[in-house]
Structure 1
Amino acid sequence: MDEELLLRRQVCFALYSASRAATALYRPLLDELGLTYPQYLVLLLLWERDGRTVKELGDELDLDSGTLSPLLKRLEAAGLVTRRRFAGDERVVEIALTAAGTALRRRARKVPAALGTATGLSTAELSTLHRTLTELAGVLRTAAH
């Protein structure tokens, strides 16, 4: 048997499985907020710095505009963001939080802690894991291009 071809030995499957498990943990918490996981990620960026362009959001989240635009339309329909075209360049669309979008931040504060608690890892271990995964993502993006 080729050990390197066993599913349990595949880093890609471990990452995939962990990602699905984390998203499943988030689902009921985000349901309470009326958000999907990708919508939550957009709001996290807007809570960091409001008034980002669609291109900035797409670059940060590694999402194309075809994926991002419908997601932003749903956030706008929910009254959480506004979309505004720049007068000087109609191709540029700025996304800004509404008062309701800003207020949702307070309710969302419990979401990150839920994952930390569920892992059973210490703050230092979570920090190390985050750093390792961030570095890995960067290396893999570079290798793919």
Structure 2
Amino acid sequence: DPVTPTIVAHAGDPVRIHVFGAFNEQNQMFSLEGHQWPLKINMPGADQMHTEEFGSSENLDVFVRAAGGPTQLPGIYLWQNHRLPYTAAGQWGYFKVLPAGSQSILPLNSGGGMGGRTAEAPTEKAPEVLSGGSSAPGPLSMLDK
């Protein structure tokens, strides 16, 4: 694998990619081989993009509805800044789409992963903030000193 960032997902999983344009006076082009995303995420009938322009200090919120494209095909896809000098400078990487059910990464919200674990956020509660020097576990408040 290259030393550039690699995105990994199961075939058919929804994927959200955040792209940020570092300070530069030239516009850049983000592209993802074999995939499309809506120009506006929640707009019915929005144009589908496979390359999107962004400028200095702009961000893109790329929401791919299914990893592996319309056919949900496992494989290695290329993401890149489609302006070749930027690609040559290292603004590219792989989007690895694993077969559905692969145990290389945790599944999304299905509960069917190894040991029943999933990649969703944990549901346990954080410990209560303590005050007054209680001996129960948890963070201590420095405001009550």
- Please state which band the TM-score falls in when normalised by the shorter chain: under 0.3
Richer in strand (by share): 2
- Structure 1-normalised TM-score? 0.21
- Structure 2-normalised TM-score? 0.21
Richer in helix (by share): 1
